[in-house]
Structure 1
């Protein structure tokens, strides 16, 4: 039976919370939609995986946006997630190619470069929350660990991985985030044991390539510390774009710019940056939008 992408939440020793997730299909879909080369696939996949964890910390109709603004040739990464396991994202330059690092790894840090990591939470009726930290290595996992520690004052273990096949498809992807709860931050023995186990963890991409699922990973490595599975949910690459949304964007241009588009005599094609979906607006539809705008303006 084919393994499914899932996010599992658990408690370790009543002193830390854990989020473990398999994102192989999520990252594969992102790769196919954006036709990313391996370095961009790994960078985007790690960000999508971490953003899903941030989304799982929200509730209701809240959402979280992550922006990685580095000066490297990947030209930035953006991802958006909700509390229901849906995520979408894109990279500025999907066709990044760099030599492997000295230890034969994809050069994600070099591709991302130096810059800032932004996390923006849209909290429904409350004010949005934004935090930012300098990128530490550009390898994404280190950067999110630094963000949690310094922007949210939550010491965290973060491990993210993407294994890319020679044909550019994704063999495996996933991640793990462990955060100390208030009761665990004063327990030095527990922290030392947690760090000892975390240091022995294999790469997340290898764990999921070997067929282990998130719950098994948690039990296998952290079971001796006492693991309780709290919940699990499917995760998926999901975009909420629509022709109506792009139509509203055309209307927002105003009558003059809309008239200029019509005067060019060709239909307008819009492309969603998150999923690559294309929406076409023939001249007749554009004219109808302009007529509606003109009528509304004349009636005010």
Structure 2
């Protein structure tokens, strides 16, 4: 099971979240059959949303839309405060690497666009905030969103590493935030540490990358762990929900499905699960409308 650890410096001036999201991203890759670049783009978006949802309280849900104008199209994710996240990418077939190093490319194929966060507190009035994409690499875009939209200076590092067969090897990341009361000396010390820290890829390749991330963030500064929470890929789609969507169609549309297609198949965008409705199911819907 994946996990997210919340921590705070002993001084109370900084907080950090570190994540192991390997199974989350591995499950997403399996469900959507994504190729290398699409896997990394989708995975980073899922991790980013796990961070955002962990920042909420109650039964809130957070939707992240990374809306680019290039090869990937849109990347959509929904996460809740119970550790669940789901998501999909419009173009699952982007597979581009640097010739010399084999590094998977993401940012250039996101293009220009926006990082959109919709927070649903369960009141019926979701709050939407939008910032421009600054790089398309997702981590930098999340940091910019947190700093600009939520007015909390933040550093973010997240990535997805693939094996020689382009399957998810490991995935995770961190978020570090400056809290009220931090001194200039402390801020400068942490800034220098973040600037000089090893690459997120090398940290994720450590035997215990959760511990490696915490060490890289705090260095010799003392900190305490506030909580350790389970996180996972989970889709809450149901047959009943899609049946409800079908019943919103007009009688003529349902009759056409029954007569011409002899049924209906609905595929969940978030997890790829297929739901079948046969002629009898459609006939019952038609009769209910009559």
Q: TM-score range by the shorter chain?
A: over 0.9
8 Å CA contact 1:101, 1:107 repeated in 2: no
Partner residue in 2 for 1:153: 151
| CA displacement at 1:16 relative to structure 2 | 1.2
Separation of aligned partners in 1, 2:234 and 2:99: 32
CA RMSD of aligned residues (A): 1.6
Q: State which of 68, 77, 81 in structure 2 corresponds to 1:70.
A: 68
8 Å CA contact 2:29, 2:39 repeated in 1: yes
Partner residue in 1 for 2:243: 247
Q: State which of 178, 189, 193 in structure 2 corresponds to 1:193.
A: 189
Partner residue in 2 for 1:5: 2
8 Å CA contact 1:71, 1:114 repeated in 2: yes
Unaligned residue ranges in structure 2 (runs of 5+): none
Partner residue in 1 for 2:278: 282
| CA displacement at 1:134 relative to structure 2 | 0.8
Partner residue in 1 for 2:132: 134
Residues 278 and 196 (structure 1), Cα distance of their counterparts in 2 relative to 1, 3 Å cut? same
| CA displacement at 1:256 relative to structure 2 | 2.1
Give TM-score, length-normalised by structure 2: 0.95
8 Å CA contact 1:88, 1:239 repeated in 2: yes
Residues 121 and 102 (structure 1), Cα distance of their counterparts in 2 relative to 1, 3 Å cut? farther
Equivalent residues in 2 for 1:38-57, closer than 5 Å: 38-57=36-55
Equivalent residues in 2 for 1:3-42, closer than 5 Å: 4-12=1-9, 13-42=11-40
Give TM-score, length-normalised by structure 1: 0.92
| CA displacement at 1:215 relative to structure 2 | 4.8
Separation of aligned partners in 2, 1:87 and 1:203: 26
Unaligned residue ranges in structure 1 (runs of 5+): 295-300
1:218-257 residue CA offsets vs partner (Å, 9 max, x unmatched): 1464152221100011110000001111101100112221
Of the structure 1 ranges 157-166 and 99-108, higher mean CA displacement relative to structure 2 is found in 99-108
Instruction: Name the SS for the 1:235 alignment partner.
Output: strand
Write out the 4+ residue segments of structure 1 that deviate beyond 4 Å after TM superposition: 101-104
| CA displacement at 1:105 relative to structure 2 | 2.5
Of the structure 1 ranges 256-265 and 57-66, higher mean CA displacement relative to structure 2 is found in 256-265
